[in-house]
Amino acid sequence: MRPAGGSPLIELKDVKVYFKKGSIFGKRKLIKALDGVSMKVDFKEKVAIVGETGSGKTTLGRVVVGLQRPTSGEVIAYFNGHPVNPYSLRGRARKEYFKNAGMVYQDPYSAIDPLMRVRDVLRIPLLYAGIKGEEAEKRIKEVMSRVSLSEEYLSYYVFQLSGGQRQRLVIARALLFNPKLLVADEPVSMLDASLKGDILDLLNSVNSDMGVSVLMVTHELAVAKVFAQRIHVLYLGKIMESASSEEFFSNPLHPYAQLLLAASPDLKHLKTIPEIPLKKVSEIPSSANIPPGCRFHTRCPFAFDKCIKEEPPLKEVKEGHEVACWLR
């Protein structure tokens, strides 16, 4: 199942994250945010998790960064070279370990407290990690220049910065502890078009110059295409298709992936709304009510009886290309 080459940085094996929801009165619902996800991010790799709202992509990102304990399944991280299950570590040790992973949030306006000074945003986490004074100052200047934010901004207040600048600051903050991995949750979806390129460039350079792996979570396939080396398509908590970026975009196999591709923008076909292969205009099922068998069968135009009864496993059909579909 693993492609050859590249040493893994973090691996998820059949990770499930279930949430219990409901009151004492009503029925208890089980929300299956992640329903058995196996994937990995290699050293220095750029991976994209593509999915719509409700796919579980944000939860996946949070599992990788240490904010969400899996209900079941294994997480194995190699941040220090040898395998560790970080969720088996207790409190402080776990937090320390996860400092090797940084988080870049979606909304630059709420990811940093606007009332703080820029310098403090970076200084305080360092302080509580035991880095202060000159050493801290040096580190702060390092990350600021890494994200191309001029030092003069250090004395500003966050609310004086623009959206693009704030997002750079978010990335700078995530780089404070020299992480081996960055999880970027929709890092450009709230930015104007003219800024997207810069932030994506920045993430690219962080990856190539610093050797930091990036796990990008997004709903825009076009963004994934422009950035990632490897794509995983997530639907209702399970991976539907995995492939290298080149392979995926030239040969998408899963009907859901094809649907997403058809609906993604391109400027070649003007004045035409793409036809999307969808069974009927049906809504996405909720994660509390996942359809039996293949979870996509309710909307899949190609579904047949096996799809309704049995869930297809994620199978490698070509080297490095996996699909979960009975059609293959």
Partner 1 sequence: MGFAVYAQFFIPTSLYKAWNNPAAWLNYPPHVPPYWVNYFNGFKNPPSFSLNLPLSLSTKSGNLYVYTASASFQYAYNGFPSGLTIQVSNAASIVTSYLEIIKPDGVQVAVSTGNSFPVITTSPPLTSVASNLIYKYTGTYPATVTSQQVMAALFGVDGKGMFNETLKGPYKVSVVIYSNAPLNGASVIINVQGSSYGLMGTDYDGRPIDLGILMGLPSTLLLAVLTSVVSVGVGVIYGGLAGFLGGRKDDVLQWFMLVVLALPALPFLVTMEYVFPSGLSIIDEMLLIAFLSWPAYAIIARAAAISVRSLTYVEADYILGVPKYRSFFTHVVPRLLPFAVAYTVLGIPGAVILIETLAFLGVYPPGLVSWGEMLNSAEANQAALNGWWWWILFPGIMIVIVSAPFVMVGYAIDKIVSPRVGVK
Partner 2 sequence: MMRIEGLKVYFSTPKGDVRAVDDVDLEVEKGEIIGLVGESGSGKSTLALAVMRLIYPPGRIAGGKIIFEGTDILSIPINEYVRRFRWKKIAMVFQASMNSFSPTFKIKDQFFETLKVHGYEGDYWERTKELLSTVNLDPSIADKYPHELSGGQKQRAFIALAIAMKPKLLIADEPTTALDVVTQIQILRLFKRLRDEEGISVLFITHDIALLSMITDRIYVMYSGKVVEGGTVEDVIKTPAHPYTAALINSIPTLDKTSVKGIPGSLPSLINPPKGCRFEPRCPVKLPVCSEKEPEMFGVGEKHHAACWRLAPNRA
Contact positions vs partner 1 (CB under 8 A): 65-67, 95-96, 98-99, 102-103, 105, 107, 110-113, 115-116, 120, 124-125, 128-129, 173, 176-177
Residue from 4, 24, 115, 267 touching partner 2 (CB under 8 A): that is 267
- Alpha carbon distance 240, 236 (integer Å): 9
What is the smallest separation between the CB atom of 19 and partner 2, expressed in angstroms?
Answer: 19
Q: What is the DSSP string of 15-83?
A: EEEEEEE--SSS--EEEEEEEEEEEEEETT-EEEEE--TTSSHHHHHHHHHTSS--SEEEEEE-TTSS-
Residue selected from 52, 74, 120, 137 as contacting partner 2 according to rule CB under 8 A: 52
Query: Amino acid identity of 272?
Result: T
Using CB under 8 A, pick the residue from 13, 263, 302, 328 that binds partner 2.
263
| Cα–Cα distance list, 261 to 41, 215, 233, 271 (Å) | 23, 20, 11, 18
Q: Within 175-214, which residues bind partner 2 (CB under 8 A)?
A: 192-201
Q: Which of 99, 119, 219, 279 binds partner 2 (CB under 8 A)?
A: 219
Short-list 178, 166, 63, CA closest to 113: 166
User: Is residue 41 near partner 2 by the rule CB under 8 A?
Assistant: no
Q: For the range 110-114, what are the long-range contacts, defined as Cβ-Cβ under 8 Å and sequence gap of 24 or more?
A: 111/166, 111/170, 112/158, 112/166, 112/169, 112/170, 112/173, 113/158, 114/157, 114/158, 114/159
The first and second tokens of residue 234, run together, are: 């997530």
Among positions 89, 129, 222, 327, the unique one binding partner 2 when judged by CB under 8 A: 222
Backbone angles phi, psi at 216, to 5 degrees: -100, 130
Residue type (1 letter), 283: E
Identify what 268 binds: partner 1, partner 2, none; CB under 5 to 8 Å per kind: partner 2
How many Å apart are CA 34 and CA 15, to the nearest integer? 7
> By CB under 8 A, which span of 31-39, 76-84, 107-115, 216-224 interacts with partner 2?
216-224
Q: How far is the CB of 214 from partner 2 (least distance, A)?
A: 16
- 276 is a site residue for partner 2 (CB under 8 A): yes
Question: Should residue 277 be labelled a site residue for partner 2 when binding is judged by CB under 8 A?
Answer: no
Q: Determine the Cα–Cα distance for residues 89 and 94; give it in Å rounded to an integer.
A: 5
Q: Which is nearer to partner 1, 84 or 111 (CB)?
A: 111
Length of the chain: 328
Minimum distance between the CB of residue 111 and partner 1, rounded to whole angstroms? Answer: 5
3 state DSSP class of 188: coil
* Residue placing its CB nearer to partner 2 in the complex, 123 or 238: 238
Out of partner 2, partner 1, none, what residue 53 binds, judged by CB under 5 to 8 A for its kind, is partner 2
- Footprint of partner 2 (CB under 8 A): 52-53, 162-164, 192-201, 219-223, 225-226, 249, 259-261, 263-274, 276, 278, 281, 283-284
